């Protein structure tokens, strides 16, 4: 078994600003590893590079330099077909842009990865899961007709049925009411108990305080790593960051 589910070394990311050859350096040499069954949170001020780091470490946005390894694989070295299978079967994404297909129903979005992998679809189980996360809309509604929070729940349900080993989540509960947020957090926590590794970007200090390890970022640099963080420590670390 691969012990380090994620291993990133010295990641830097710069993007072109569109003005002549100007580059904006977003990440500067971030190194990090995550273990089987670990729940990791990434916190930091707005604009500190959290989402960029998550995109780079999840295989969605190639860093300018440095290495990324997920489950022993460099996702940036995979050919397109293998990369699609890797993303569909090994890694789950809960991102703010949802990445849902608006022309499909909520149910069809959830089962699409299963169908593409020719896996069995248990309709009753998926309806039950939707109920358990307080999804009140009709699962046969088109995603385009759903609210932001309902779409977020569809994206979460799609990851929860996928059996992936690693989940990258960017503010997974950001669009949700607090009761639904707690339920989703509980489900992610249950998955880590089954060995899934979850990496979550969040602004919610109380939630970060219930993860196994919190990483604080500032100006694209890793600042502190807090093991078994508590809310007080996180507030202090973040108010240091704001100064
Ligand atoms: N493609 C891009 N082109 C130009 N600038 C970018 C690009 N992506 C990110 N940035 C800038 O890089 C910085 C870090 O962005 P990022 O979204 O990673 O921060 P964040 O910590 O997730 O912020 P927030 O908490 O507000 O979501 C920001 O200043 C952002 O405007």
How far away, in angstroms, is 202 Cα from ligand 1 center?
A: 14
3-state secondary structure 140-203: CCEHHHCCHHHHHHHHHHHHHCCCCCEEEEECCCCCCCHHHHHHHHHHHHHHHHCCCEEEEECC
- What ipTM was estimated for this complex? 0.96
How far away, in angstroms, is 16 Cα from ligand 1 center?
A: 13
CATH of domain 4-16+25-242: 3.40.50.300
Per-residue pLDDT tens, the chain, 243 aa: give them: 446 899 999 999 999 887 777 889 999 999 999 999 999 999 999 999 999 999 999 999 999 999 999 999 999 999 999 998 898 889 999 986 667 888 899 999 999 989 988 889 999 999 999 999 999 999 999 998 998 889 889 999 999 998 899 999 999 888 788 888 898 899 899 999 999 999 999 999 999 999 999 999 999 999 999 999 999 999 988 887 666
Interhelix angle 178-193/148-160, rounded to 10 degrees, is: 10
Model pLDDT, residue 26: 96
Model pLDDT, residue 207: 94
CA distance 179 to 175: 12
Model pLDDT, residue 141: 94
Model pLDDT, residue 97: 64
How far away, in angstroms, is 20 Cα from ligand 1 center?
A: 20
Residue 24 Cβ < 6 Å to ligand 1? yes
Model pLDDT, residue 243: 61
- Give the closest residue (by CA) to ligand 1 atom 8: 52
How far away, in angstroms, is 47 Cα from ligand 1 center?
A: 5
Most ligand 1 atoms within 8 A of CB, residue of 14, 24, 216, 242 to mutate: 24
Residue 201 CA, closest ligand 1 atom number: 22
Q: How many other CB atoms are there within 10 angstroms of residue 22's CB atom?
A: 10
- CA distances to 57, 69, 139, 213, 224 from 10, in Å: 11, 12, 43, 19, 16
Model pLDDT, residue 35: 95
Model pLDDT, residue 135: 93
Most ligand 1 atoms within 8 A of CB, residue of 16, 41, 43, 50 to mutate: 50
Residue 21 Cβ < 6 Å to ligand 1? no
Residue 49 Cβ < 6 Å to ligand 1? yes
pLDDT tens figures, 149-170: 898 899 999 999 988 999 999 9
């Amino acid at each position: 078994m691969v012990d380090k589910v994620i291993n990133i070394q010295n990641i830097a990311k710069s993007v072109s600003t569109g003005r002549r050859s100007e580059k904006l350096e977003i990440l500067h040499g971030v190194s990090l590893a995550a273990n089987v069954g670990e729940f990791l949170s990434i916190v930091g001020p707005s604009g500190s590079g959290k989402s960029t780091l998550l995109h780079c470490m999840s295989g969605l946005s190639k860093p300018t330099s440095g290495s990324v390894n997920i489950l022993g694989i460099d996702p940036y070295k995979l050919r397109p077909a293998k990369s699609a299978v890797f993303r569909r079967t090994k890694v789950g994404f809960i991102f703010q842009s949802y990445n849902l297909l608006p022309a499909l129903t909520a149910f069809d979005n959830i089962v699409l990865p299963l169908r593409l992998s020719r896996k069995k679809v248990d309709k009753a189980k998926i309806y039950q899961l939707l109920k358990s996360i307080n999804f009140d809309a009709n699962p046969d509604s088109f995603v385009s007709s759903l609210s932001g929070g309902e779409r977020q729940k569809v994206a979460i349900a799609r990851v929860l049925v996928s059996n992936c080993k690693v989940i990258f989540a960017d503010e997974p509960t950001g669009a949700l009411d607090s009761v639904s947020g707690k339920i989703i957090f509980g489900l992610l926590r249950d998955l880590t108990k089954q060995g899934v590794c979850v990496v979550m970007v969040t602004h919610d200090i109380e939630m970060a305080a219930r993860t196994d390890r919190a990483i604080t970022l500032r100006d694209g640099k890793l600042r502190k790593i807090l093991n078994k963080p508590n809310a007080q420590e996180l507030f202090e670390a973040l108010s240091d960051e704001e100064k």
